[in-house]
Amino acid sequence: MKAIVVKPGTKGFELKDYDLREKLGDHQVMIKTLYNGICGTDRGIVSSKLSFSRPQDGFSELILGHEAIGMVKEVGDNVVSFRKGDYVVPIVRRGCGECLNCKVGRSDFCETGKFVEAGIRGKNGFMREEFVDDEAYLVKVPEAIKDIGVLTEPLSNVVKAIDELFQVQRRMIWNCEDGAYSCRNAFVIGTGPIGIFFSLMLKTFGFNVYLLNRRDPSPKEEYISRKINATFINTSKGLSDLPKVDVIADTSGFPSAFIPLLNKMNKNSALILFGTQSGDKTQIDADLITFFVENNIALFGSVNANKLDFKEAINYLTMWKEKYGDALSSMITTRVKPEEASKILLEKPSGEIKSVIEW
């Protein structure tokens, strides 16, 4: 079996034959990989910048890959939910089994930190011809979206964050007079796949969405913004055109990107932190804290997703495909064969929204 393998702590990766001799357990499913998506985490591991990456216990290397879609090749004797030929997406994080959140299926809120994440830390990932996984960690994908199902994993994290947003905002009445959200504005900072997913989610709930970047949109970004009726703003040209805002989703991780926007925040508004970076610094002062207090403003960091979020992500992809046509598939800007993986793992292709490996 071919697999894309890294040595955490060392730069680079290798596409090589790598036989794990996995046996199919009674509650397990064997899956032929169709596509892997690439994100900053994959490149961070390959460039050896992410210190938390580590091989699975008993291994010295790690198979990369946490975004995937595959087709069921074979099912174990006691598998009830899947059949040969089904399209499936695997869940990334596997809980610690110790804390209460993991015990009730919410490993995205694992408290011990003893979870593993396929392709990232402590568990081999999905960048390989095929893999065996427990039925419990798979979600089914309708055939109708097999072309974009590889987007499920990144979207699932956004689904969780938006779900958390509405939970947090139950602090007060946050809807508009008509019970919906058309009176609410949202800024999404960053226009990568996560930024586009935040925009799609917030549009779906009826928010007026502003996609912010420090440059003009690429043609693809322009196309997608128009399709989903969001407004792309080049913030390098000034912030004065921006309206007051009710929710900001930062996908950049740079405090210098979102701090200057905070004075646009309405009373009762919320800031979602999603992006992770390093190296950027900025100053805050007591007036900002007072502003948060006086205006009942909330902020939360959100990471990972649970199984229900994966299922909802698939529902959204299905709905959006029917509604927006090729807006979703146009997010996949580069498709390469495993042999060409260096083109997308070692560098970021120009105009990339999402690059995938096609097996």
- Closer to its own copies at the Cβ: 28 or 334? 28
Q: List the one residue from 19, 85, 178, 240 that touches its own copies (CB under 8 A).
A: 178
Q: List the one residue from 48, 56, 231, 276 that touches its own copies (CB under 8 A).
A: 276
Cβ–Cβ < 8 Å for 313, 155: yes
CA distances from residue 161 to 109, 254, 270, 285, 308 in whole angstroms, order as listed: 12, 18, 12, 27, 13
339 contributes a contact to its own copies by CB under 8 A:
no
Residue type, 168: V
280 contributes a contact to its own copies by CB under 8 A:
yes
293 contributes a contact to its own copies by CB under 8 A:
yes
Tokens read off for 27: 């509650």
153 labeled binding residue: yes
Residue 181's nearest CA partner among 210, 205, 162 is: 205
Helix H or strand E segment including 154: helix 152-168
Name the burial class of residue 199, with classes exposed (0-12), middle (13-18) and buried (19+) by CB atoms within 10 angstroms of its CB.
buried
Cβ–Cβ < 8 Å for 249, 189: yes
Tokens read off for 327: 């807006």
Angle (deg, nearest 10), helices 152-168 and 307-324: 110
Stretch that binds its own copies, among 11-19, 43-51, 213-221, 289-297 (CB under 8 A): 289-297
262 contributes a contact to its own copies by CB under 8 A:
no
302 labeled binding residue: yes
Angle (deg, nearest 10), helices 219-228 and 193-204: 10
Stretch that binds its own copies, among 6-14, 30-38, 281-289, 343-351 (CB under 8 A): 281-289
85 contributes a contact to its own copies by CB under 8 A:
no
Q: List the one residue from 96, 242, 262, 299 that touches its own copies (CB under 8 A).
A: 299
Q: List the one residue from 296, 326, 329, 351 that touches its own copies (CB under 8 A).
A: 296
The CB-of-92 to its own copies minimum distance in angstroms stands at 14
Stretch that binds its own copies, among 41-49, 98-106, 214-222, 346-354 (CB under 8 A): 98-106
Q: Where are the beta strands (DSSP E) in 119-255?
A: 122-123, 130-134, 138-141, 185-189, 208-213, 231-234, 245-250
100 contributes a contact to its own copies by CB under 8 A:
yes
- Closer to its own copies at the Cβ: 14 or 111? 111
- Closer to its own copies at the Cβ: 284 or 346? 284
Q: List the one residue from 175, 231, 333, 342 that touches its own copies (CB under 8 A).
A: 175
287 contributes a contact to its own copies by CB under 8 A:
yes
The CB-of-279 to its own copies minimum distance in angstroms stands at 6
Cβ–Cβ < 8 Å for 210, 230: yes
Tokens read off for 2: 């071919």
10 labeled binding residue: no
Half-sphere exposure of 179 (CA within 13 A, CB side): 0
As beta bridge partners, residue 189 has 212, 250
114 contributes a contact to its own copies by CB under 8 A:
no
78 contributes a contact to its own copies by CB under 8 A:
no
